[in-house]
Amino acid sequence: MIARTRLLAVCAGAAGGAIAIGAMEFFAAHAAYPLMAIPFATSIVMVLGSPRAEPAQPRPLIGGHLVSTLVGLLAVKLLGPAPWVAALAVGFAMIAMHLTGTFHPPAGIDPLVIVVNDLSWGFLIAPVGAGALLLALFAFVWHKLVACGPNSGDTWPARWW
């Protein structure tokens, strides 16, 4: 059974995740991007549900999405929107994230979304760049708001860089 203090921390993370997904859906609808094309749902779960995990820190969160998106864009622009290109791009994105110290598993889907949908260079700026920064800001504010009492151990970030 989960101790009361841990249950409160889990519930706080879940509430933040629900609010963040709701906001993401709102912005996706107004920006004409389907929610599934914006690759942040699993990042939200990681950052709010496991705030101490290395891949949930700001550098991997923001850098992982930017690096993976860049790999996906390079792949689709050089090789075209084929399924094998999407698979190759995901593999190269994993390598690139490790090499840059930005490994964030949820960002691994970015190249697939980009290649399959043959997205433009603008996707790197919005929604990915802006979205990753907004997600980090939301996580920071959310954790500051709920990091009291039983949730005081779940402060975020553990480190910025």
Which DSSP state fits 101? T
Residues in Cβ contact with 141 at an 8 Å cutoff, skipping those fewer than 6 apart? none
The pLDDT, as a whole number, for residue 9 is 79
3-class SS of residue 103: coil
Whole-angstrom distance, CA of residue 115 vs CA of residue 90: 10
The pLDDT, as a whole number, for residue 38 is 67
The pLDDT, as a whole number, for residue 145 is 86
Which DSSP state fits 4? H
Domain boundaries in the chain? 4-153
The pLDDT, as a whole number, for residue 14 is 87
Query: Is-above-0.85 flag for pTM?
Result: yes
Whole-angstrom distance, CA of residue 124 vs CA of residue 76: 13
3-class SS of residue 140: helix
Whole-angstrom distance, CA of residue 140 vs CA of residue 25: 20
Rounded-to-10 torsion of CA 98, 88, 107, 25: 170
Region for 68 from its dihedrals, namely left if φ exceeds 0, alpha if ψ lies in -120 to 50, beta otherwise: alpha
Residues in Cβ contact with 126 at an 8 Å cutoff, skipping those fewer than 6 apart? 31
Angle 110-117/83-100 helices, nearest 10 degrees? 150
Which DSSP state fits 60? I
Question: Tens digit of pLDDT per residue, the chain (161 long)?
Answer: 567 777 887 888 888 888 988 887 787 777 766 656 667 889 999 999 888 899 999 999 999 999 999 999 999 999 999 999 999 999 999 999 999 999 999 999 999 999 999 999 999 998 899 889 999 999 999 988 886 655 566 678 988 88
